[in-house]
Amino acid sequence: MEPKRNSAGSALHGSSAVSVIRRRAAFMEHKRLSARETRTLNLLGDFLQNKEIASELGVSVPVAEKIIRNVFKNLGVHKRTEAILLWKSDK
């Protein structure tokens, strides 16, 4: 069985994996992110461009851009870098 990985692709083991999952769940609840917004945030964290995000989500580029704007609004950020840093931080 392959070890679980965090959004950065690093292997997670045992309580470390559970800890990351709990932090992410609390983050999503606190920031009120939908499942689609969370998926979009993961794709942003993988440094995908809007066209690639749209393809992964199965939506048009304008719809993907709207989802990204909603993510930024919910997180209180204005740039991709800010969103990614907030998402990947251990806080």
Query: Given a cut of 60, is residue 39 above it in pLDDT?
Result: yes
The per-residue pLDDT for 91 is: 47
> Which of 5, 10, 63 is closest to 37 using CA atoms?
63
The pTM for the full model equals 0.68
Sorted by sequence, the CB contacts under 8 Å of residue 2 that are 6+ apart come out as: none
Tell me the average pLDDT of the chain: 80
Chain-centre distance of CA 72, in angstroms? 11
Average pLDDT value for residue range 17-40: 73
For the residues 37-66, what does the mean pLDDT come to?
A: 96
Q: Binning pLDDT at 50, 70 and 90, where does residue 61 land?
A: very high
Domains in the chain, ordered, with CATH?
A: 33-91 (1.10.10.10)
Secondary structure, 3-state, 15-33 = HHHHHHHHHHHHHHHHHCC
- The band of 33, judged by pLDDT with boundaries at 50, 70 and 90, is confident
Residue 5 has pLDDT above 90, yes or no: no
Q: Dihedral sign for Cα 40, 73, 21, 12, please.
A: positive
